[in-house]
Chain A
Amino acid sequence: EAGVVQSPRYKIIEKKQPVAFWCNPISGHNTLYWYRQNLGQGPELLIRYENEEAVDDSQLPKDRFSAERLKGVDSTLKIQPAELGDSAVYLCASSRGSANTGELFFGEGSRLTVL
């Protein structure tokens, strides 16, 4: 079984530029998460999807961040325009149900550097 696939693994951009990250979850996993992980810290939830519906986006900075999960499978996370403080690793995770029922499966992450 293939794991959670994320791309790109690394991205370097200048501030004010846009950037997009893509995630393909494990087949059959209904729940998809985007986390941001700053250096030396734990992951912080940005948005959680149940199928196509964003059920928790309270931590997503909506002025510059957007996400979508069309057809309830792949998802993209976009930042426009990027700021210096957005430099971090963006992790995608999926689970068969909610985290109350089991583990999260993480991708390798997309490391963003904003210059």
Chain B
Amino acid sequence: SQQGEEDPQALSIQEGENATMNCSYKTSINNLQWYRQNSGRGLVHLILIRSNEREKHSGRLRVTLDTSKKSSSLLITASRAADTASYFCASNPNTNAGKSTFGDGTTLTVKP
């Protein structure tokens, strides 16, 4: 029943490498958000991209949005061991304002 799907489900890289995670969604959106969740903790907001934006940067994070393909990607550059976490996209559809729908996440492991 989730609207979004992340790909890959799991990703393991070495410290210093870049990590790319992808998200697909099903309906037209107002915005799409990325969150991070450390094991046993709550979700923390990383970045929001609006439907009229194509790319957004925040520190080592780069998010792209392709509304024609209903997809988004999150790139983490120069990864660190502290980036180890699960990453979720949340899409906010035009038809139900305020209903963030999450995918099942990508589990990222960054090896020191």
Chain A positions within 8 Å of B, measured between CB atoms, are 4, 31, 33, 35, 40-45, 48, 50, 55-56, 59, 91, 93, 98-100, 102-109
Contact = CB atoms under 8 A, between A and B. Distances in A.
Contact of A42 (B2, B48, B96): B2
Given A42-B103, A56-B98, A104-B90, 12 more contacts: A33-B100, A41-B105, A42-B88, A45-B100, A59-B1, A98-B98, A99-B98, A100-B92, A103-B33, A103-B45, A103-B48, A105-B45
Given A42-B88, A100-B92, A103-B33, A108 B42 contact: yes
Interface in B21-49: 30-31, 33, 35, 41-45, 48
Contacts, number: 71
B102 A43 contact: yes
B2 A4 contact: no
25 contacts: A4-B42, A31-B98, A35-B102, A41-B2, A41-B105, A42-B2, A42-B103, A42-B105, A44-B1, A44-B2, A56-B96, A56-B98, A98-B97, A99-B31, A99-B92, A99-B98, A100-B30, A100-B31, A100-B92, A104-B35, A104-B45, A104-B100, A105-B45, A106-B43, A108-B42
Residue picked from A44, A59, A100, A106, most chain B C-beta under 10 Å: A100
A40 to B, nearest CB: 7
Contacts of A43: 43, 88, 102
